[in-house]
Amino acid sequence: MAANGEEVSDLLKVTPEELLVRWINFHLKAAGQEPFVKNLGKDLQDSKAIFYVLNQLDKDKCPLEHLNEADELKRAEMMLLNSEALGVAKMIDAEDFIKGNSKANTIFVAEIFNTKHGMEELKQEEKEAYEAATIEDDDIEGTREERSFRLWINSLGIEDVFINNLFSECRDGQILLKVIHKIDNTVVEWNRVEKNANNTFKIGINC
């Protein structure tokens, strides 16, 4: 899924969401479709892109017979049945999927990818290049942890919260407070929170 001129080390810097978009477009191209997905929200809500991806992963279990179902909700329901036939855990319902919610869709698409990605295993030289790239990254474990926590926070469905960089965007403490509030809405004293944390002192209060 590397773009022209990209090295394996470059892929390590790509966000998980962008990798999933590339993965979907890879399978769309293999299906003879014009790759058109640019995001995991509105571009997926008609279910057609995922129909093609599932069909590429297993043509017997995931047929295309309901691809042109006129009713968008019914089409989404059939697409989700295909994903379950592939062994994908139920992560979302049809009503939510057709809303084009990028947070919910990211988790669903990641689950498909983790169940069956449908790509060739790395060749020996590619494995060696990957290992060399990860060795060069002094904080590769930290990078993986950052992605894991970021995806978890994005999956919580907190209004107006979608993180692309855990460290920079959580720096002023406000997002972390929203996460705490989501887990237990009796903990955060919002009247003490600095909404405009524009200096180190205010940031420290929030943190």
What is the average pLDDT value for the chain, to the nearest integer? Answer: 83
pLDDT, tens digit (0-9, with 9 covering 90-100), for 24-74: 999 999 999 987 899 999 999 999 999 999 999 999 999 999 999 999 999
Residue 141: the pLDDT is 47
Under DSSP, the state recorded for 144 is H
Residue 85: the pLDDT is 96
Task: Give the largest Cα separation in the chain, rounded.
Answer: 61
**What single-letter amino acid sits at 118?**
G
Q: 132 versus 202: which is more confidently predicted?
A: 202
Is there a shared CATH topology between the 8-115 domain and the 138-206 domain? Answer: yes
Q: 165 versus 72: which is more confidently predicted?
A: 72
The model's pTM is 0.60
Please check the confidence at residue 102 and state whether its pLDDT lies above 70: yes
Does the 138-206 domain belong in CATH 1.10.418.10?
Answer: yes
pLDDT, tens digit (0-9, with 9 covering 90-100), for 113-129: 989 998 766 456 644 55
Residue 143: the pLDDT is 67
Contact 179, 162 (CB under 8 A): no
Q: How confident is the model at residue 87 (pLDDT cuts 50, 70, 90)?
A: very high
What average pLDDT score do residues 177-193 get?
91
Pick the CATH number of 8-115 from 3.30.230.10, 3.30.565.10, 3.90.1150.10, 1.10.418.10: 1.10.418.10
Domain borders along the chain are: 8-115, 138-206
The secondary structure of 42-95, three-state, reads: HHHCCCHHHHHHHHHHCCCCCCCCCCCCCCHHHHHHHHHHHHHHCCCCCCCCHH
